[in-house]
Amino acid sequence: MTEFDPRAVAARALPLLDLTDLGDACTEAKAAALCRDARLGGVAAVCVWPRFVDQCARALRGVGIPVATVINFPAGGTDSAAAADDAAEACRDGAHEIDLVLPYRAFLAGDAGTARDVVEATRDACPDAVLKVILETGELRAPETIRAASRLALEAGADFLKTSTGKSPVSATPEAAEAMLAEIRASGRPAGLKVSGGLRTVADAALYLALADRIMGPGWASQKTFRLGASSLFGALMAARDS
């Protein structure tokens, strides 16, 4: 990619970052540290397991940083009632944003109806939450399949399309992000993209910001339309911002 100014990229990317800890070893202490980092960096949101939503919502009350959590994660099951119930509970606990895994295996097997049902049920359960639908693009693979899953998620009520859980062998790729952005643009409705999984460096952030600028226009990427989901990226962005 072309050269970029690390400090400028960091200043632009930090407010778009969903600061995340979805590690199996996450604890209350780590969730508290995540909230402290979020306040320090002025990020878009924190993303945690459902069991930490109440804690983080209390820690960030009045700060203007929303709490996101994951539903149907990471397997992407087909039980729409369970997904809806879990999402509703998370919203009651204080979640403002729901990152829902699309039943991508069902979708790949030709069962688009079940995939749609899970998205629609979760949308209905949390009508006021920002709904990000995780496509698990590393498993969908082909651009045309990614675009078809994107269309389904948008039609079913997604506010954002999200690339990956970060738990699959292949996470975010520029090719997947480009296919998703193309579908968002073609949909003609307000929707955003969250790039997640494998982002670690300022160069990674610069790459996806440049991609969004190229496809959607240089004024498009904002907290309402573009997110970077990561944990280790935060340190690199803070170091570049303060350099």
**Does residue 85 have an active-site annotation?**
no
Give me the phi and psi of 97, to 5 degrees please.
-135, 140
* Catalytic residue chosen out of the listed positions 18, 159, 162, 204: 162
Residue 150: left (phi > 0), alpha (psi -120 to 50), or beta? alpha
- Rounded to 10°, the helix 112-125/143-155 angle is 40
**Does residue 194 have an active-site annotation?**
yes
Contact predicate 115/102, CB 8 Å: yes
Kindly state the tokens that stand for 150.
């994107």
Kind and range of the H or E run holding 125: helix 112-125
Which residue in the block uniquely carries the two structure tokens 């303060």?
Answer: 242
* Catalytic residue chosen out of the listed positions 18, 86, 194, 204: 194
* Catalytic residue chosen out of the listed positions 99, 117, 159, 204: 99
Number of helical (H) and strand (E) elements in the chain, helices listed first = 11, 8
Calculate the CA dihedral of residues 124, 78, 163, 38 and round it to 10 degrees.
Answer: 60
Distance CA 35, CA 145 (A): 36
Contact predicate 223/14, CB 8 Å: no
- Catalytically active residues are 99, 162, 194
